[in-house]
Chain A
Amino acid sequence: MDPREFCRKSAKVSLCSILLCAVLLGFYSQLTHRVVLRQMQLEKKESSEGDCHLDTCRIPEVPRLLYPKAQLLKPTRVDVLVMTPWFAPIIWDGTFDSAILDAQFRNITIGLTVFAIKKYVVFLKLFLETAEKHFMVGHKVNYYVFTDQPAAVPQIPLQEGRQVVVLEVRNYKRWQDISMHRMEMISNFSQRRFLREVHYLVCLDVDMKFSDHVGVEILAPLFGTLHPGFYAGDRQSFTYERRPLSQAYIPRDEGDFYYAGGFFGGSVPEVYRLTVACHQAMMADQANGIEAVWHDESHLNRYLLHHKPSKVLSPEYLWDEQMLQRPPLLRKLRYVAVPKNHAEIRNR
């Protein structure tokens, strides 16, 4: 072969190999990065502290926003504790900026569970109407209405991205059993559907209404709400279950807060763990012939003592105006009791 032709050919071949190398190297570095990330994400389990969102499990990115700057030397609230000793924020008005939080929590679907059994169906209309005005506005919401009377669930006009899912369940004769079996039902449906449908679950009482903003500031892997009757009390005065025989037993020198049974939640896996634990504890108590003094609320308190919540909601998030005088430290009332005749509405 002519040496010049040979050179040209070999030059062409070397060029092709170099190009091939370049392409493959480019591919390789991208591949490595993706593989590393994927591996980290796959093996990442639910975190116990931090703001891990389930869909991405990473620090969320926020777009450029304009908002006032926080002042390090100027605490926003000086009249109340805004953080627990284990770094869980206590959510009060003034401690959070909704613009930033909404940006961090965009593309999240929230599930709300509510139980309307027997006569309690009467509360649904006001509950859902006020939820439409105040609960997670601007985000995707699934209302999971557990009821024994699907036909009684009212048709409420809903904002975009929000839907009502009616889940038919059995009722119980005693109101205490209805209350306690909520744990079992939530745990069942968590496995069957919630895990696939929503990122967070918020478990609420139905005999209430929303009167002010309740938004993504509450979302965390696990959260509880301060019971309005005990936020100022000493741990000895908390109405924990005090009989050692019960699974919900808490000794007098233990306890952080008294949490309300009517407002708790978190990521689906964490709520699943909580509801399973509480249900099993209640079954154990039943086998031992004992019923905790405040039923599912007692068991919730026991669980949250041993599995510290990553956020705590102030009594702004659960209040009863009929029972309690509103103190100045409550700048807003967001979720409040609807007046009802206890004797009338229960046990029928």
Chain B
Amino acid sequence: MHCPRLALGLGFCLLVGMALCSLCNMKLQYKGEKPFQPVTPSQYPQPKLLKQKPTEFLTLTPWLAPIVSEGTFEPELLRHIYQPLNLTVGVTVFAVGKYTQFVQRFLESAEQFFMQGFRVHYYVFTNDPTAVPRVRLGSGRLVSTIPILRHSRWEEISTRRMQSISQHIAERAHREVDYLFCLNVDMVFRNPWGPETLGDLVAAVHPGYFAVPRQQFPYERRPLSTAFVADGEGDFYYGGAVFGGRVAEVYEFTRGCHMGILADKANGIMAAWQEESHLNRRFISHKPSKVLSPEYLWDDRKPQPPSLKLIRFSTLDKDTDWLRS
């Protein structure tokens, strides 16, 4: 008889396929982490315990995560600590449709300011690899284009980022990088962005809401959504344009956000600020181990307050309506 044999054959092939795939995954070589490395002492001034430097920002969250801003760290000392670890830092950017036009300026400014002296791997997710310009890169730095689908609605493209990133980590990035930053492409680096930003799980404060009480944060306020945040909850409003950390943590984080987005989809709801809402929900229950001040995520349309000494990464003025059409 054909049919049982066919079914049997199909089932057998499927099982073999499964087994092979599992075997492939078992061989994941994950870039491990290092224990404390001895630091060769470098010349740097002694920390002054009694004279608090006039940084106007809070420097520690209530759960003792550092808040990084100019004046809170010694770049030389950090370089001494991190250089011997031979780390590779990954960056994901999404350049879909008309957003490919931002890649050039992004990469050029990154080459000037981002993680100088480190090995860097840029992952450019795009529907059109031919539209990604070739940019001159320093030694130890490379670009890979990752093909993705283009969706008709920009919200759809935005919410799929979490899924794409977690999938990419599982398939590739866990083998290639130690830390991963997920950044928006329509931005430029204007000042150094270095190892002071490295941490297990890193978030950045949104430039529009750092001086505002939590009730005014644009959290998702409908209880039906998995991104729902109640009135009395919330630490800071974090920007969706910058987050990162150790690859394993970013995997867990993006996967968690993606699950929330899927659940919302099944319930026919889309969060107020798409993945940024889900990111903010998750950062309440999985608090970041390091927070970047608005120096690391600025909006050039805003006037620069005196508390902000240095802008390191900021938006490019653009016509969002046209871009999203």
Residues of A28-64 contacting chain B, CB below 8 A: 28, 31-33, 35-37, 39-52, 58-64
Q: Are A100 and B200 in contact (CB under 8 A)?
A: no
CB of A2 within 8 Å of the partner chain: no
Complex-state Cα separation, A345 to B114, whole angstroms: 59
Q: Are A40 and B30 in contact (CB under 8 A)?
A: yes
Known: A13-B7, A231-B49. Contact between A82 and B67, CB under 8 A?
Answer: no
Q: Are B48 and A81 in contact (CB under 8 A)?
A: yes
A21 cross-chain contacts in B, Cβ below 8 A: 10, 14
Complex-state Cα separation, A17 to B64, whole angstroms: 54
Q: Which of A59, A96, A221, A256 has a CB less than 8 Å from the CB of B249?
A: A59
* Residue among A17, A31, A49, A305 having the largest count of chain B Cβ atoms under 10 Å: A49
Q: Are B22 and A17 in contact (CB under 8 A)?
A: no
Known: A41-B248, A75-B57, A86-B81. Contact between A59 and B33, CB under 8 A?
Answer: no
Q: Which of B10, B170, B214, B290 has a CB less than 8 Å from the CB of A87?
A: B290
Q: Are B199 and A10 in contact (CB under 8 A)?
A: no
Complex-state Cα separation, A226 to B95, whole angstroms: 50
Known: A48-B35, A81-B50, A305-B41. Contact between A70 and B64, CB under 8 A?
Answer: no
List the count of A-B residue pairs having beta carbons below 8 Å apart: 245
**Interface code A120-153, partner B: CB below 8 Å = 1, 0 otherwise?**
0000000000000000000000000000000000
Complex-state Cα separation, A252 to B201, whole angstroms: 37
Complex-state Cα separation, A50 to B81, whole angstroms: 14
Q: List 23 A-B contacts (CB under 8 A).
A: A14-B7, A17-B11, A20-B14, A43-B31, A46-B36, A47-B246, A51-B65, A58-B248, A62-B286, A62-B287, A67-B62, A72-B205, A75-B58, A78-B52, A80-B49, A81-B49, A84-B47, A87-B66, A87-B72, A96-B62, A232-B49, A256-B46, A270-B36
Partner-B contacts on A (CB < 8 A): 9-10, 13-14, 16-17, 20-21, 24, 27-28, 31-33, 35-37, 39-52, 58-64, 66-67, 69-87, 89-91, 95-97, 100-101, 104, 217, 221-222, 226, 231-232, 234-235, 253-257, 269-270, 273, 305-308, 311, 329
Partner-A contacts on B (CB < 8 A): 2-4, 6-7, 10-11, 14-15, 18, 21-22, 25-26, 28-41, 43-44, 46-53, 55-68, 72-74, 77-78, 81, 170, 174, 196, 198-201, 205, 210-211, 213-214, 230, 232-236, 246-249, 251-253, 255, 285-290, 293, 307
